[in-house]
Amino acid sequence: MALTDVGVRNAKPTGKLYRLFDERGMYLEVSATGGKWWRFKYRFGGKEKRLSLGVYPDVGLKDARARRDEARKLLAKNIDPGIERKVQKAATVERAANSFEAVAREWFARQAPGWATSHADKIMGRLENDVFPWLGGRAIAEIKAPEVLAVLRRVEARGALDTAHRVHQNCGQVFRYAVATGRAERDISSDLRGALPPARHTHFASVTEPAEVASLLRALDGFQGTFVVQCALRLAPLLFVRPGELRTAEWTQFDLDKAQWRYTVSKTKTEHLVPLSTQAVATLRELHALTGQRQYVFPGRDVKKPMSGAAINAALRRMGFDTKTEITGHGFRAMARTILHEQLRFPSEVIEHQLAHRVADALGTAYNRTRFIDDRVVMMQRWADYLDRLKAGAEVIEMNSATG
């Protein structure tokens, strides 16, 4: 007789395995402890075989019969349902391994060691927030350009056009990696060039007029916060390194007797040398008395960690500056680049090397930490002297070249 829901539900353990048979080869197997499994017995190629149809009560009687019927349909086509299940399972595993998310995370794992942590976090954040929820589970080879465009449109619709362009770029990198590793035929994101409106790039807020720089410097000197942040504010315009490199500076990187700071550039992972002006050395010696026994030049509240990434901008806001329109910690770089070239007449290549930018020369050298070092030593001292004169209220007009 065919099984019933009540009969299945009331099947009790007897201390040994037994079976309750349904129709067309299906039966319920009840273990000695009461576990219940649906089975389907069939013959294929002259051999008797069994196929699991699921566990009761997760799979009810009706669903178990539906699974049995699907298996019988395969048998009618001369397909072994047990082999077919293994094939489908392998395909599912392969699809999961070749999904957009799996490929993207593999690409990221290979690339991230060469990136700054902040840069890596931004890329993974974009993928996790804006791409994976919609494309992550799809086999990367099956994704079409309109699907990627839909992802980009969602980002654009919330007013983040620049982010949409960056998402497009990251998707392209993932697709090209998939092509290189044999999991996609082509980078379909390339079909979307021009699909988004051009992004309007904005630069970090900065002050580049000498009179305004003078007011800024006097305000920095008057900051009433902690001595550590005071020193960071005094050094930021003198050194004009990236804010993250300043706040994570370690005492072991400095040779104050030689007036040098050597560190690895966070963005390019290249070694960099910053010549220190006498003013910078004086500030660092003052600070060394307080933090010199610590790892970080600018320790945070937890002295085992560096100062917060928001500390400089927070201090600027406390002094009344708008960090969106007037000045940011990163804006000191633009300030130095502009005035060093336009007012102090230093050559662009000398300035760019001091900024640790990759600027290829005629020989193809992208960056060398000691290139133009003599000129850079002169430049950094003249820059510090120039700022001192500005702060003192002098009308400074410099027309000499770096070597004049």
Give residue 94's pLDDT. Answer: 64
**For the whole model, what pTM was predicted?**
0.52
Residue 326 in this model has a pLDDT that exceeds 90: no
Residue 302 in this model has a pLDDT that exceeds 60: yes
Closest CA to 387 of 124, 142, 207, 164: 207
Q: Name 49's bridge partners.
A: 42
Closest CA to 257 of 274, 278, 239, 240: 278
Residue 114, burial from CB neighbour count under 10 angstroms (0-12, 13-18, 19+):
exposed
Closest CA to 383 of 333, 326, 336: 336
Q: Name 48's bridge partners.
A: 43
Give residue 401's pLDDT. Answer: 44
Which of 25-34, 264-273, 290-299, 338-347 has the least mean pLDDT?
264-273
Catalytic residues: 242, 267, 330, 333, 357, 367
Give residue 369's pLDDT. Answer: 62
Give residue 368's pLDDT. Answer: 61
Return the axis-axis angle of helices 331-342 and 373-391, rounded to nearest 10°. Answer: 100
Which of 56-70, 148-162, 247-261, 362-376 has the least mean pLDDT?
362-376
pLDDT tens per residue, range 80-92: 998 888 887 766 6
Residue 203 in this model has a pLDDT that exceeds 70: no
With tokens 């102090």, the residue in question is 344
What structural domains does the chain harbor? 5-94 (3.30.160.390), 100-192 (1.10.150.130), 210-391 (1.10.443.10)
Residue 375, burial from CB neighbour count under 10 angstroms (0-12, 13-18, 19+):
buried
Residue 360 in this model has a pLDDT that exceeds 60: no
Angle at 60 between CA 58 and CA 63, to 5 degrees: 110
> Of the spans 81-85, 120-124, 219-223, 256-260, which averages the highest pLDDT?
256-260
Q: Name the token pair of 318.
A: 């406390």
Give residue 364's pLDDT. Answer: 46
Q: Name the token pair of 76.
A: 């009618």
Give residue 154's pLDDT. Answer: 93
Give residue 403's pLDDT. Answer: 41
What mean pLDDT is predicted for residues 101-123?
87
Q: Name 47's bridge partners.
A: 44
First to last CA, the chain: 107
CA distance linking residue 253 with residue 240, whole number of Å: 17
pLDDT tens per residue, range 384-394: 999 999 988 86
Specify the pairing of strand 260-264 against strand 36-44. Answer: unpaired
Give residue 266's pLDDT. Answer: 76
Percent share of the chain, pLDDT over 90: 61
Residue 400 in this model has a pLDDT that exceeds 90: no
With tokens 């002169």, the residue in question is 378
Which of 39-48, 118-127, 319-328, 330-339 has the least mean pLDDT?
319-328
Give residue 320's pLDDT. Answer: 81
What mean pLDDT is predicted for residues 371-398?
86
Residue type, 78: N
Contact assessment for residue 222 and residue 315, using Cβ atoms and an 8 Å cutoff: no
Residue 367 in this model has a pLDDT that exceeds 70: no
Contact assessment for residue 167 and residue 152, using Cβ atoms and an 8 Å cutoff: yes
Residue 214 in this model has a pLDDT that exceeds 50: yes
Closest CA to 335 of 355, 321, 350, 349: 355
Give residue 36's pLDDT. Answer: 95
Give residue 404's pLDDT. Answer: 41
